[in-house]
Structure 1
């Protein structure tokens, strides 16, 4: 049996977080959920190496945003796959995003997140 691929999902909107949780677990991924940047930073500090990918919204309310979460994650695990999700901040990805990441603009269909994560994990497996 293949080990479960663990992802950190960071989304402040409860309905989107629930939809993505259902979609990603249905695809066989394991998840740690964070509803804001503070929770995400704590999960990464507690054990970033356990995660194979980070899926994060950019605008997370008060506290660290998705850009900061991803930079922190990459500081701990340089090869970590990163998928950003955003409505209003998608145009800032080229300047703010970490290298070898993907931006999925909102609104999206959940399959786009699955595809983005899978593609990045496949690329990382080839390195």
Structure 2
């Protein structure tokens, strides 16, 4: 198999972070995680060329929220697949989400998260491989 497929996971709730990380790793992805928007933006700027997908909670406490993390990530890597996770911000997705992203409503089954990120990565296809 080729290089690991690296996903940046942003989640400030420790149990939700573990749940999402296990789902992604069980699906064959390599995960780096951040518990705040600022940490996510730092990690993304340092490793943008290796990261092939972003999974972010929308509400991240103080500082940058998931909407901003995704917008800033897209500024650095225009076609990065983005999956938003949220319990109560789904109605804001159309106004705040980046184009060609997906939203997974909490609580979710691991398969829902895997399907969302895999679909976006597959759709981006050749752009990720390069």
Band of TM-score, shorter chain = over 0.9
Instruction: Quote the residue 2:81 is aligned against.
Output: 81
Kept in 1: contact 2:23–2:113 (CA 8 A)? no
Between the aligned partners of 2:27 and 2:74, the Cα distance in structure 1 is 25
Q: Hey, which bits of structure 1, 4+ residues long, moved more than 3 A? A: none
For structure 1, which runs of at least 5 residues remain unmatched after alignment? none
| Paired residue secondary structure (1:19) | helix
CA deviation map 1:71-123 (0-9, x unaligned): 00000000100000101111100110000100111111111000000100111
Kept in 1: contact 2:48–2:76 (CA 8 A)? yes
Per-residue deviation, 1:15: 0.4
CA RMSD across the alignment: 1.1
Q: How many aligned positions are there?
A: 127
Between the aligned partners of 1:84 and 1:97, the Cα distance in structure 2 is 8
Instruction: Quote the residue 1:51 is aligned against.
Output: 51
TM-score, structure 2 as length reference: 0.94
Per-residue deviation, 1:126: 5.9
For structure 2, which runs of at least 5 residues remain unmatched after alignment? none
Per-residue deviation, 1:47: 2.1
Instruction: Quote the residue 1:72 is aligned against.
Output: 72
TM-score, structure 1 as length reference: 0.96
